[in-house]
Copies of this chain bind each other. A is one copy, B any other.
Amino acid sequence: MSRYILPRGFLVNGTHCGIKRFNKDLGIIYSAAPCKAAGMFTKNKIKAAPLLVAKEILAKGEPIHAVIVNSGNANCCAGRVGTGDAKKMIMGVTANLDLKFNNVLVSSTGVIGKRLPVDLIVAAIPKLVKRLSERAVMSFAKAILTTDKKRKVETTRFLIGSHEVIITGVCKGSGMIHPNMATMLCFIMTDANIDKDALKLALRRVTDDTFNNIAIDNDMSTNDTVFILANGRAGNEPIKKGTKEFDLFVKHLHGIALELCREVIRDGEGATKLIHVRVKGAKTEKDAKKVARMIADSLLVKTSVHGGDPNWGRVAASVGSSMADGIRYGKIEIYLDRVCMFKNGKFTNPAANRVATIYKRGTVDILVNLNAGTKSAFMFTCDLSKRYVEINAHYMT
């Protein structure tokens, strides 16, 4: 547990307010020191109410001191009352922590289309706030989960000059994970002292290369959100864009985000294997991404990985159907768990003992070289199991 320390000056908590029958369903992050903040949101055109409210607050640019999050209800498609309910969550916090409305961010995850039981939330905030603690990370991490089996927390510490900086991320994932972040919430706290523009850029850059590259199913949620809060308590000189300190910060933020992505995928609904899809030798990065996503979205590839069946033909079919430029049949190479299966337009017929190792480990590697250029991309996804169907056939009822 000691791995999961919080950056200086952050307190968190999680509790049960009654949206879910038994499990924790309400969490809070608080920093007495004012935070610079940035957010990334789903690209789904239907956005849940809390996203709209949080975006507005971020746009005001006032210091952020707290984030209030509930699970069990997404506060999405619940009519016009939705934004009012999201605002009531914030007002519940301001009433108990002596903050102003624009100092608090809000987030929700869970079922779509049911009105949020906001009174339960507001009633639980006093006790939630009372037990704010620097040691309650796992409690907060638990409170934001839906069908996840495991809590997802990562911490890193590094030096900026002579000042130790800490970054801690807490994440929830599971179903509906898709490029552009589908039902994923991630809250990243840091005590780094960093320029607001630099913080925004760092978050965008890291998100594009991590959270936007994961897929469990091909659905995109209405609620995906990544927030980062930086309270400056590490005491370093402010990090500015284009400096080596900025690069160092991005590198560590990237490490945290990538590890959280892996945890999200491993804990994907019904997932038994993490699939790392890599595409190289593409003409453009866009082409590389197209191919990687097509493979990662292929039910036939995902089920063959699940069954331990080294069916490279399904990978080939996905490559061809990606509509990316520069795909030439005779040039493509396909490697499954580093065994070359397809080259020079045909099956390589590798030794049986090598084929026998494919798709047998917990992490599976699919590499496609298009031999058409120098660009590359990757995707994380998971296998498709009967358990996925079980979980999702009766979610609402």
Q: Say whether, besides A346-B77, A347-B79, A395-B311, A219 and B300 are in contact (CB < 8 Å).
A: yes
Question: Is there contact, CB below 8 Å, between B316 and A113?
Answer: yes
Q: Given A176-B317, A313-B113, A393 and B345 touching (CB < 8 A)?
A: no
CA distance A10 to B303 in the complex (A): 41
Taking the closest CB of chain B, its distance from the CB of A316, in whole angstroms, is 5
- Contact check, A342 vs B77: say whether CB atoms are below 8 A apart: yes
Contact with B along A197-230 (1 / 0, CB 8 A): 0000000000000000000011111100000000
Q: Which residue of B lies closest to A46 (CB)?
A: B320
Contact of A310 with B by CB under 8 A: yes
- A300 engages B175 (CB within 8 Å): yes
A222 to B392, CA, bound (A): 30
Interface centre among A47, A317, A319 (most CB of B within 10 A): A317
User: Is A304 interfacial (CB-CB < 8 Å)?
Assistant: yes
Contact B345 A310 (CB under 8 A): no
| A77 with B316: CB separation less than 8 A | yes
Question: In the bound complex, what is the Cα–Cα distance between A394 and B297 (angstroms)?
Answer: 18
Q: A219-B317, A219-B318 are in contact. Are A347 and B78 (CB under 8 A)?
A: yes
How many Å lie between the Cα of A78 and that of B348 in the bound state? 10
Count of A interface residues, CB-CB < 8 Å: 69
Asked if A323 is an interface residue, CB under 8 A from chain B, the answer is yes
A58 within 8 A of partner (CB): no
| Known contacts A300-B176, A393-B309; A316/B46 CB under 8 A | yes
Which of A94-102, A132-140, A160-168, A382-390 lines the interface with chain B? A382-390
Q: Mark A347-364, 1 if CB is under 8 A from B, else 0.
A: 100000000000000000
Consensus secondary structure, chain A interface? loop
Q: Please indicate which of the listed interface residues A80, A180, A297, A303 has the most CB atoms of chain B within 10 Å of its own CB.
A: A303
Contact A303 B393 (CB under 8 A): yes
Assess whether A21 is interfacial by the CB under 8 Å rule: no
Nearest B residue (CB) for A383 = B393
Question: With A303-B392, A317-B112, A320-B46 as given contacts, are A218 and B346 in contact (CB-CB < 8 Å)?
Answer: no
Instruction: Assess the B79–A346 pair: CB atoms within 8 A.
Output: yes
Collect the chain B residues with CB atoms within 8 Å of residue A390's CB.
386
Q: Is the CB of A397 closer than 8 A to any CB of chain B?
A: yes
Chosen A-B contacts, 22 in total, with CB atoms closer than 8 Å, are: A43-B321, A44-B320, A45-B319, A45-B323, A47-B320, A77-B313, A77-B345, A77-B346, A79-B345, A79-B347, A80-B346, A112-B317, A113-B342, A176-B317, A217-B298, A218-B297, A219-B317, A222-B317, A299-B299, A300-B395, A304-B396, A389-B389
Q: A176-B300, A219-B321, A385-B389 are in contact. List 14 more A-B contacts (CB 8 A).
A: A46-B316, A46-B319, A78-B347, A79-B345, A113-B313, A113-B346, A114-B347, A303-B388, A303-B393, A307-B397, A309-B393, A309-B397, A386-B386, A386-B389
| CB-CB nearest 9 A-B residue pairs | A307-B393, A112-B313, A79-B346, A46-B320, A220-B321, A303-B392, A386-B386, A217-B299, A44-B320
